[in-house]
A and B are shown apart, each in its own frame.
Chain A
């Protein structure tokens, strides 16, 4: 369960404070649904994801989280181009406190799940964006997080990999859930049950992703 109370966020910039990006948000995100996060570019979706992921601190208000949350998965960071996929994977396992004797087991999982094969030992800057997202996803799935924060990352995987992800995150007995930022309606309808529509600094909760998309579509 993620509870957001009176959350507001603005950034300190070199020219004083920015405008309010998020204003007085109150949300309760249950941990047994997949949530799609929608809104225009720059509406504050990524900021909300970063706040939930603990990368930024709210300007005012409070976020309390009782489940285990992954790092926000996106394209921008976290991988060093001149290291191999395997070296990057080791690094991420180590900062999460995986002891050395469990490393190889986790590495095998990441290699298998990502289906990178030999490319796992190649440098990251030879990877396509789809391969990067496969690696990033596989690494996070090697941990038992309850909630996975995916910022646009699903949009580049190929059909086969997306199906695999879908199978992990869909079904009654799953233990993992997604908070997914996406502009792809089909992906959202397929993966998510509930939706959050971020608009003008507000975040509106919808129990059904269809209603959220309808509200968003109406606004467009």
Chain B
């Protein structure tokens, strides 16, 4: 039906090279747009997760709950909350990427899918920096900073990120056609904040609620992360990284499918 043979680039770069230079340029641009305005953005990167951690520590201290024995509460909250904030930021920024970058789509090298991927990557990168700082501080306070199974924990964070990226890819297309979707996603994310096991250990939730909570792939990620940090933490029955990985692969492929077939609608408005 349609063929455009368009030898646009001076040197006729390959498709992979074009994509790589777009990703690189977008990442550098995203960094300078988000981090170059003085000290405030840097402060916020640390302060936002810190405020969450402090609030939960206060609730915990005030209610005087007996926590899981052998588990460091501070490390528990830090590892869970940073992951949760990453997940939320990746989904929301991915979802808004196409509208935020609308002007850039006047360069034919840039496709909507590039915008979503790079925004998600940038958010993940920023949280990773914040997480490193947090763990260093915790460690210097004499608390447990390193997981018992570092590779499993790292893999679980990566899979949570990938799951968020897939949702971002889907919602960025969805938000184009259903503008209200953004509000719905925000509400659902707020529910997930409490029910994904990032803060509240799922093991101690009675059935049938626990079974419902474990239908959420992200919950499997956080149970794995907490079990990977503390050998004393018993993950909820049925915890499986494979479940999260399968979820991530499915949403990424659905997202890419939608991006591929709807890209022209996203560009043309």
Interface residues of A (CB under 8 A from B): 11-12, 14, 53-66, 68-69, 71-72, 74, 76-80, 82-83, 87, 90-92, 94-97, 143-144
Contact = CB atoms under 8 A, between A and B. Distances in A.
A68 B8 contact: yes
A78 B8 contact: no
13 contacts: A54-B6, A55-B106, A57-B2, A57-B4, A58-B2, A64-B5, A65-B6, A69-B8, A78-B103, A90-B28, A94-B21, A95-B109, A96-B21
Interface in B198-238: none
B32 interface: yes
Interface stretch (B9-17, B63-71, B91-99, B140-148): B9-17
Contacts of A83: 29, 32-33
B1 A55 contact: no
A83 B31 CA distance: 11
A12 B265 contact: yes
Nearest to B3: A62
Contact of B268 (A56, A76, A97, A143): A56
A144 B22 CA distance: 19
The binding surface of chain A is classed by DSSP as loop
A77 B104 contact: yes
The binding surface of chain B is classed by DSSP as helix
Most buried by B among A66, A91, A143: A91
A9 to B, nearest CB: 10
Contacts of B106: 55, 71-72, 74, 76-78
A96 B109 contact: yes
Nearest to A60: B1
Most buried by B among A78, A90, A97: A97
B10 A68 contact: yes
A59 to B, nearest CB: 8
Contact of B29 (A11, A58, A59, A87): A87
Given A55-B108, A94-B24, 7 more contacts: A12-B265, A53-B108, A56-B268, A68-B10, A71-B108, A79-B103, A83-B32
A69 B108 CA distance: 11
B62 interface: no
Contact of A95 (B3, B7, B33, B107): B107
A97 B105 contact: no
Interface residues on B, range: 35 or more
B2 A60 contact: yes
The 7 closest A-B pairs by CB, nearest first: A77-B103, A94-B25, A54-B108, A77-B106, A95-B25, A91-B29, A97-B21
Nearest to B1: A60
B21 A95 contact: yes
Contacts, number: 102
A143 B8 CA distance: 11
Nearest to B18: A97
B103 A76 contact: yes
Given A55-B105, A80-B103, A94 B2 contact: no
Given A55-B108, A71-B108, A91 B264 contact: no
B267 interface: yes
A55 to B, nearest CB: 6
B154 interface: no
Given A64-B4, A82-B33, A71 B107 contact: yes
Nearest to B264: A57
A61 B2 CA distance: 6
B177 interface: yes
Contacts of A80: 29, 33, 103
Nearest to B13: A97
A54 B4 contact: yes
Contact of B104 (A60, A61, A78, A143): A78
Contacts of B2: 57-62
Contacts of A59: 2
Contacts of A65: 4-8
Nearest to A77: B103
Contact of A96 (B1, B9, B26, B37): B9
Given A65-B5, A80-B103, A95 B110 contact: yes
A63 B4 CA distance: 5
B206 to A, nearest CB: 46
Nearest to A58: B2
A4 B200 CA distance: 62
B32 A87 contact: yes
A59 B2 CA distance: 7
B102 interface: yes
